[in-house]
Structure 1
Amino acid sequence: MARPPDPASALPATTPRPFWTIARRDSVAGLLFVAPQLAGTFVFVLVPLVLVFWYSLHEWNVLANTFNFTGTRNYEQLLSDPQLPGVLLASALFSGGLVVLNLGLALLLAVLLNQKLAGITVFRTLFFSPVVVSLVAWTIVWGFLLQHNGGINGMLGLLGVEGPNWLRTPTTALVSVIVVQVFKNVGLNMVLFLAALQGVPRELYEAARIDGAPRFKQFRRITLPLISPTILLTSIITIVGSLQVFAQIVVLTQGGPGVSTTVLVYYLYQQTFQFHRFGYGSTLAIVLFAIVALLTLAQWQMRKKFVFHEQ
């Protein structure tokens, strides 16, 4: 009698799973796409950050070709630097004035340019055009205008007003640098605010008008909460940018008069490349990095309280 066939032998042989599955191919493709960004972050961010910290523990004299370990001496010198309080004050005043004027003016312009009027596109282009102008060229032109016998005082003279020497007195010099920077970059924040305003549903304003809400209350209760993510983004960008201002200081005031416009980045440049104190300059760079990181982290944490979509 014939033996019945084994049921297991009747089953087809299982095909081995290929190594390059769709999931693995997608993972490799994703890694290849982000690899340039990761390599750039490692080479141009992480490695320099580690090297700056290492240099801050040394005294590097390029002219004498010496590189000596000094430990925390540069940090101790930082605490006793008589010019540092004035530098930090100038940095705080510059950043505070720039953020308030830039964001306030950008939001005002965005609200005005959000109206459906004939020729409004031309005004949007005019307000945005300084953003694409060369920073150095823009600053040089303003440097001529702000001279004692420059264009601004000339126009004031036509009105019978004697203008000050804008770049040679501490208060007007700082205000002048802030205004020049505001006019240079206000167009970028204006465009961001304009895009956010156009994304607010019109039905909310119509419902508010039916309920009798005035325009200011509509702006405070509807517009500001709904564009709060854009406000957070622009504030972070503006604050970080204000702490990195350099070209305007070099061209307009060279940090003067005194230290009234010597912001932290320019003071870092002076100590490192003019006085050849690379170790102390690296210490100042660590301080700048810590300030930017703390401010950015604080703003990011505040989003849970002030940003509409995070509440």
Structure 2
Amino acid sequence: MAVTQLTRRAAGRADHPPPGRARRFWTIARRDALVGYLFVAPQLAGSALFVLLPLGLVGWYSLQEWNVLAGTFEFVGGDNYAKLLADANLRSVLTASALFSAGLVVLNLSLALTLAVLLNQRLRGTTLFRTLFFSPVLVSLVAWTIVWQFLLQKDGGVNGLLAVAGVEGPNWLRGEATAMLSVVVVQVIKNVGLNMVLFLAALQGVPRQLYEAAQLDGAGAWRRFRSVTVPLISPTILLTSIITVVGSLQVFAQIAVLTQGGPGTSTTVLVYYLYQQAFQFRHFGYGATLSVLLFVIVAALTLLQWRLRRRWVFHES
């Protein structure tokens, strides 16, 4: 206690010199503040250079008509946004994006939580299964997608396994219904291990005493899961849902390799449509406008999930 008081008095004398003496500019408080600013400066510079500046440029390019071949860069104001509202393909693109996101979020989170609950039972061989389920996360996305492209062909490995059971499988990537389902399943298998590990870590942090107390009160397995497990891991559910939703809206490589947006426009999600407009058709201004739309959708969904956390996330007021 005495040492603390002496330290405070010394700091006070350094910041407030006695009358008649000139006040030093580099006081202890200012030096500490400078050190703090220097520590956060690289992060602030990186955020400004790689986040804020690109966002500002995208907004600026969305107001331009940029023709690379002709070398023209013309300000058109809100013409690109008017074109966006009149785009006949936009509805099907948003529908495909919504179907992909909904299917991915539901399947990924439910499967990841189920696997985490099973692997949390401390049974023999769980370490091996954790490794097997997590290993696809470490595989290159493009390599993973190319392998599945061969497996999902008409005469691929998936239909070969179905033929053994006497079932004739379709050409998974050429049917409007099966193409979207195939892309969703491939993405779920690729990333379910990451959410599984997050859920498993959260489950292992739930106190065993709560399960024992609930069991003594007569709660069954389902009631313990619903009333004890889910509330205590709800912060992790929020985290994984935000990560999965944002990732589902940014899918590109799987669509580009597996279906190229087809058949028709059944798997043309917003990011792939943006790529087509900007880099295939050279409509860079309209591509920037689609980027602004994507940013607004991602930001709105993230803020919505963040606002709703107060209603169901444990420890939130």
Shorter-chain TM-score category? over 0.9
Q: Match of 1:200?
A: 206
Equivalent in the alignment of 2:64 = 58
Q: Aligned Cα RMSD in Å? A: 1.4
CA distance in 2 between partners of 1:84 and 1:141 (Å): 31
Normalised by the size of structure 2, how large is the TM-score?
Answer: 0.92
Identity among equivalent pairs (%):
73
From 264, 275, 280, the counterpart of 2:281: 275
How big is each residue's C-alpha offset from its partner over 1:150-172, in whole Å with a ceiling of 9 and x where there is no partner?
A: 00000000111000000001110
Per the TM alignment, residue 17 of structure 1 is displaced from its structure 2 partner at its CA by 6.3
2:309 is the alignment partner of 1:286: no
> Which digits, 9 at most, give the CA deviation of each residue in 1:89-126, with x for residues without a partner?
00000000000000000000000011112221111111
Structure 1, residues 202-224: CA drift from partner, whole Å, max 9, x if none? 10000011111001000000000
| TM norm structure 1 | 0.94
In structure 1, what is the Cα distance between the partners aligned to 2:198 and 2:77?
A: 46
In the TM superposition, what is the alpha-carbon distance from 1:48 to its structure 2 partner?
1.0
- Using the alignment, how far apart are the partners of 2:212 and 2:274 within structure 1? 53
Query: Are 2:71 and 1:71 equivalent residues in the alignment?
Result: no
Cα distance in structure 2, aligned partners of 1:246 and 1:217: 40
Q: 1:157 aligns with which of 155, 163, 173?
A: 163
Matched residue SS, 1:309: coil
- Asked if 1:114 is matched to 2:120, the reply is yes
Deviations 1:114-146 (A, max 9, x none): 111222111111111111110001000111100
Please tell me the residue identity of whatever aligns with 2:103.
G
Alpha-carbon offset, residue 44 of structure 1: 1.0
Is the aligned partner of 1:126 residue 2:119? no
Q: Secondary structure at the match of 2:110?
A: helix
Structure 1, unmatched stretches of 5+, are 1-11
User: Which of these two proteins has the greater Rg computed from alpha carbons?
Assistant: 1
Tell me the distance in 2 between the aligned counterparts of 1:92 and 1:149: 30
Partner SS, residue 310 of structure 1: coil
Is residue 41 from structure 1 mapped to residue 47 from structure 2 by the alignment?
A: yes
Determine the structure 2 residue equivalent to 1:102.
108
Shift of 1:308: 1.1
Amino acid across the alignment from 1:134 = S
Query: What are the superposed Cα offsets for residues 150-201 of structure 1, whole Å, 9 maximum, x if unpaired?
Result: 0000000011100000000111000000000001110110011011101111
Paired AA for residue 99 in structure 2 = L
Gaps of 5+ in 2: 1-17
